[in-house]
Structure 1
Amino acid sequence: MKFHTLLMAVAITVAPVFVSAQRIKLVEGSVSPLKGITELNTEFTYDNVKVGEFSNEEDYIHKKTEDYNKKEAGRGDTWAKSWKSDRAEKFEPKFNQLFTDNSGGISAGKYPSAKYTLIFKTKFIEPGFNVGVWRKNASMDGEAWIVETADKSKVIAKFTVDKAQGRIFGGFDFDTGLRIQEAYADAAKALAKAIRKQL
């Protein structure tokens, strides 16, 4: 019984590492030009994002805003503002932080003078939910394009990022923005490790 429990614990520990390795895929180019750099400029785009079962993000925002306002006047409008502001206030800083922490010496963030820029293009967001007994992790799909800062039409590498998971240990992720923030953290960590491995 103890041995079975130990095996389960090892499986739980190892599985996320394996899954992370499968989520990141280099689909074009090479990261070799990044060898030796210490700063990487980052930009984020949210064009044509699909959210949950909605093929259009604006439709999702409209529906949620309407539903929340019916329950409590003004609540939906407040939620809609947070949905957009969470990008700059939560998702992007967390991405930069986790990329920096796992890159092995490359600091990611607002570095307009850096030779290269990582453009993270969000394609899909699953907000998930947490209502105590029932919960669903957030997840996110995207693309990471590494380009020359001086001429962003010059792409040196492209990665796809699939099913980055957003969850908080202990299950205290009742806030939608917090769950999605952790999906960006997961993506950044896996991406940084993938790049580091290839340098």
Structure 2
Amino acid sequence: MKILRAFLFFTAFLVSLSAYGQKIKVDGDLDKLTEYSQIKIEYYYEDMSVGKFDNEEEYIEEKVTKYNEDEPGKGDEWKENWYNDRAERYHPKFLELINKYLEKSDVSADHKGEAPVTMKVYTTFTEPGWNVGVMRKSAMIDLRIEFYANNELIAEMEVLKAPGAGAMGYDFDAGLRISEAYAKAGKEVGKYLTKKVW
């Protein structure tokens, strides 16, 4: 039985890995960033689809209704966490990983203050994923990033299918899975900018 469980888990893990191939597309001239070394990051979630839902509002409404039917107040708590996770988990993960790679070029990003370069990060799609023990589906996000130098739009980047999963499959919380997707996206954007720009 243990061997069967391990096999099923390993198979699900491989399927989740093979299902996602993160892609980065750029339109515009990122070379205009080379003279700058500070970036301010802003995050936006308008017009985001979630899983099978075309818009976030429908997804939230279904989750809140279901959880509140199971246990009064649980859906409202879930909704609060859904929004709070952005500033408390997703943004810090993205920032940490992008800075890890940018610092190799003496470039830094932050959420606060002012900077000559602004990255506007729009989350256009979120797949929260799921984990029921022996079977799981990784989270995944799509981002559209606009780069502004001195308030002038100079380039756009798409980050497609950034996957997110916790170590060893212990990611039963959707917020953890999604935060790892932001970490992965931050890592890949940081690597790309370090290689192509700085």
**What band does the TM-score fall into relative to the shorter chain?**
0.7 to 0.9
Question: Which shifted more, 33-42 or 44-53?
Answer: 33-42
| Structure 2 counterpart of 1:184, from 165, 182, 186 | 182
Q: Percent identity of the aligned residues?
A: 39
- 1:116-155 superposed matches below 5 A: 116-148=117-149, 150-151=150-151, 154-155=152-153
Q: Deviations over 1:90-121 (max 9, x none)?
A: 11111111100012232211243210001100
Q: Deviations over 1:68-95 (max 9, x none)?
A: 1111111110000000111111111111
Mapped to 2, the partners of 1:107 and 1:100 lie a distance apart of 6
Contact 1:97 1:108 in 2 (8 A): no
Query: How many residues are paired up?
Result: 179
TM-score (norm 1): 0.84
* 5+ long unaligned stretches in structure 2: 1-13
TM-score (norm 2): 0.85
Equivalent residue of 2:54, what SS?
coil
Mapped to 2, the partners of 1:110 and 1:163 lie a distance apart of 24
Letter in 1 for 2:191: K
Query: What does residue 5 of structure 1 align with?
Result: none
Mapped to 1, the partners of 2:82 and 2:167 lie a distance apart of 23
Mapped to 2, the partners of 1:56 and 1:143 lie a distance apart of 16
Question: What is the root-mean-square deviation in Å for CA atoms of aligned residues?
Answer: 1.8
Mapped to 2, the partners of 1:89 and 1:114 lie a distance apart of 22
Letter in 1 for 2:121: F
- 1:1-199 superposed matches below 5 A: 19-20=21-22, 23-26=23-26, 28-103=27-102, 104=104, 105-148=106-149, 150-151=150-151, 154-199=152-197
